[in-house]
Amino acid sequence: MTVQAANSILYLDGVNKTFDGFKAINNLALVLQKGEMRAIIGPNGAGKTTMMDIITGKTRPDEGDVLFNGEIDLTKEDEASVARLGIGRKFQKPTVFETHTVEDNILLSLDQKRGVFDMLFATRTAKEQARIDELLALIRLEGRRDELASALSHGQKQWLEIGMLLAQDPKVLLVDEPAAGMTDAETMETAKLLREIAGERTVVVVEHDMEFVEALGVKVTVLNEGSVLAEGSLEQVSKNPAVIESYLGR
């Protein structure tokens, strides 16, 4: 094993995936350190979502290394076991329990064994309540805790889902296009929120909104045709002729 793999939380190398003869992922390499936040950008069809599918065990690559913590081979795990290892994923569309309150959505995620009946009638521990309060403050929904999730805006539902994922204490959080459909103010607040989460956890964010990526202020990986086209600060990759040609200049 290389030194890079040993110190990483996520390590992809030589990853390939072909769908019906189409090479969606082409010799892809990506290394993330513990606590790092990384933005992934690239044109539609670049393979961003497929990369997340491969990390989370939804899609099995044809070949290549996909390691968690430098040792666990994620290509041998299914989605449920990858989630149990501590890799949480947020899809584009929020999936909150609309007919439950904001607070109960977090409670249900904190304790997955707790059924809806228990949730309504069992007392929660002081520790659980403290964690719920902390998460509600982080996702900017403390003042909305008693309202039904259905009353939230699209952006607030995205935050609630981030809170629900954090309730499961993941080591890595994968977030696919969180700013899509958000207002400008929500988009900027989401960048702040993700910056607060990173450090303690590793965060991978796929996003098209360049103002959002700029606000994240982290290293950017540009994907194109299933491989890494460029890596560096947003300023650096924005000046890269290959990036302008394939993506930003269009």
Positions in the binding site for ligand ADP (CB under 6 A)? 19, 24, 42, 44-50
Number of H-type helices and E-type strands within the chain: 11, 10
Nearest distance in Å: CB 72, ligand ADP: 23
Nearest distance in Å: CB 203, ligand ADP: 17
Q: What's the length of the chain?
A: 250
Q: Based on CB atoms, which residue is closest to ligand ADP, 51 or 173?
A: 51
Q: Based on CB atoms, which residue is closest to Mg ion, 104 or 177?
A: 177
The Cβ of residue 128 has, within 10 Å, a number of other Cβ atoms equal to 16
Q: Based on CB atoms, which residue is closest to ligand ADP, 159 or 247?
A: 247
Angle between helices 126-138 and 184-197 (to 10 degrees): 130
d(CA 160, CA 106): 8
Q: Which does 19 bind (CB under 5 to 8 A by kind): Mg ion, ligand ADP, none?
A: ligand ADP
Q: Based on CB atoms, which residue is closest to ligand ADP, 44 or 112?
A: 44
Strand partners, 8: 33
CB 63 within 8 A of CB 37: no
Nearest distance in Å: CB 206, Mg ion: 6
The answer to whether 49 contacts Mg ion (rule: CB under 5 A) is yes
d(CA 130, CA 38): 29
Nearest distance in Å: CB 223, ligand ADP: 6
- Distant-in-sequence, close-in-space partners of 47: CB < 8 Å, separation ≥ 6: 17, 24, 25, 26, 28, 223, 225, 226, 227
Q: Which does 46 bind (CB under 5 to 8 A by kind): ligand ADP, Mg ion, none?
A: ligand ADP
Nearest distance in Å: CB 87, ligand ADP: 17
Q: Which does 90 bind (CB under 5 to 8 A by kind): ligand ADP, Mg ion, none?
A: none
Count CA atoms closer than 13 A to 136's CA, side-chain side: 21
Q: Which does 190 bind (CB under 5 to 8 A by kind): ligand ADP, Mg ion, none?
A: none
Nearest distance in Å: CB 61, ligand ADP: 12
Distance between start and end Cα atoms, the chain: 40
How far, in whole angstroms, is CA 224 from its chain's centroid? 19
Q: Based on CB atoms, which residue is closest to ligand ADP, 10 or 24?
A: 24
The answer to whether 224 contacts Mg ion (rule: CB under 5 A) is no
Q: Which does 70 bind (CB under 5 to 8 A by kind): Mg ion, ligand ADP, none?
A: none
Which residues in this chain contact Mg ion in the complex, by CB under 5 A? 48-49
